[in-house]
Structure 1
Amino acid sequence: MRTASIYQPIEAEILQVEESLKAVYKLDFPPLARIVEHVLKQKGKRIRPALALLTAKLYKYDSDSLIPMATGVELLHTATLVHDDTIDDSFVRRGIPTVNSLWNGSTAVLVGDYLFAKAAELVSTTGNVRVIRLFAQALMTICNGELSQSFNTYNWRQTRQHYYARIGSKTAALFSLATESGAVLSQAPEPAVQAAKSYGNNLGMAFQIVDDVLDFTGEEEELGKPVGNDLLHGVLTLPTILFIEKHPEDNTLESIFGDKDKRQNLTRAIELICDSPAIEDSYKIADEFCALARQTLEDLPPNESCRSLVDLTHYVVERKK
């Protein structure tokens, strides 16, 4: 299943978002324009703006507010990636050199800040106080999630509850911002707004779990970044946590990473986790979150956009990158 077919109900609107993103790097200051263009031309799945648009199409769609909102959500996501790459000292993202590798960390931080500010400006043009507040709350939540991750690197005693809280504060927060805002701006009734929020949260949880599985099982060419990058930096994701749960008295991973050659240790750790039930069990948990997401759609209008939202729950667990 490809996103192009899933996005069919919003095909024209996604193109409008692309044009809106191009306008972001048409700036008077050439150095900033070049860097922002470099970042935004690394085209991803656009799943976050698609979620806002598909949700809005369930009710009273208004392009004047939805296109800026959808663009703002994508810019917020992009800003977090620029900052993440700087924090992790990553050199490649989507197969393209990162801002911090081409320029420097200080420049990357400022470019990320600029994108945050531009996203906020776009969202403010909706004139909807509730949506503006949701955006601000999501940004605070994402920062909290990033700090939680930073303060817990190489903490081998993290539980899956800690992990769920962390990804709920990052990926899921942005997904639910997109769906809840789309529902609010389309004047959906409050029960539908809450259903849309729940859908986005559950889909975001599943999306991040699969992302974390692919960090072990994917190919670098497909992922556009090194395999095992999270574990290399001491970030424990669900496959690692499930492996540790199965071996409570055995500190294999901790002892492996106690040695100096982290790259060699990483290869051994990936082999151990991939040869265990942790990968399959992680997919099962992602499936459970997707099932919860589908349940929330049952009381929403069963139109073409709703069917695309259902299809996204299948795409999320089937994707390879």
Structure 2
Amino acid sequence: MAHSNTTHFTNPSTFILLGIPGLEEAHGWISIPFCTMYIIVILGNFTILFIVKKEQSLHEPMYYFLCMLAISDLILTTSVLPKMLSIFWFNAREIDFSACLTQMFFINSFYLVGSGIFVAMAFDRYVAICHPLRHSTILTSPVVAKIGLAVLLRSGLLELPLPLLARQWPYCRTNIIPQPYCLHIAVVSLACADIRVSSYYALAVTLCGIGLDALLITVSYIHVVRAIFKLPTKDARLKTFGTCSSHLCAILAFYIPNLFIILIARLGQILPLHFHILFANLCLLMPPTLNPIIYGVRTKRIRARLFSLFTQKGI
């Protein structure tokens, strides 16, 4: 493996993931928060899925979308954390070339799926607050299923060209990736070719995907806020706004880390590489970790059902 950064080759059979370069001695300690996050993601999201399935009163569009978000978060974190922890714990740095591209696809796709589900949840809140009498006729179970399928297909189709483009580039410099997982830009930067097509396409997907989603969510909530302020009493306004609070917190937990990642990227020449990589990974994994906590704590019906389960078991 010592010659892997100097040998000339084309399309290597494996890549070498370095983890957090410069902090190799601290990998064991760094693994603790990441392992904790993974445990929270697994327990929290499976708990939400279990509660929504068992509680008939939660069989509504809002909670169906929440289940979709939980599944998306589970797939996203499982695409990243098991390999990351194997690097930290067992120094298992090698990853097959095809497995690397597959990991890249799943990370990008399900990150975009999460963004699309937030748009669907914003639409649900818009219909529930601005057109409450039509909510049950607009967001029927078949419509919710079609929205979920559309979000999944959109993400898959938009992100599929990225690994396909990455596969066609010749790699003749090195197979060492200074990351704990196969980040798209980190992989294609190793290619001995003009990768502007990949870079421009990735930027276009970000702008048309995440950017457009953020715009749609903003527009939805402008209408929601206007409708709330038209309510006659303060109690009615607070109660209606409370139905959106969990969703708003989850949106902030999703999009604010993106802003920090962009800011850190701008300061990449100033900040140490290990800080940049560590912070970017925390920002990627923070939303899936926070989502079950946010919805479990702030959603009264889920919280009540969770307490009732503990009470029934005598906890």
The TM-score bracket by the shorter chain reads: 0.3 to 0.5
Report the TM-score when normalising by structure 2.
Answer: 0.34
Bigger relative contact order, structure 1 or 2 (CA pairs below 8 A, ≥6 apart): 2
Larger radius of gyration: 2
Report the TM-score when normalising by structure 1.
Answer: 0.33
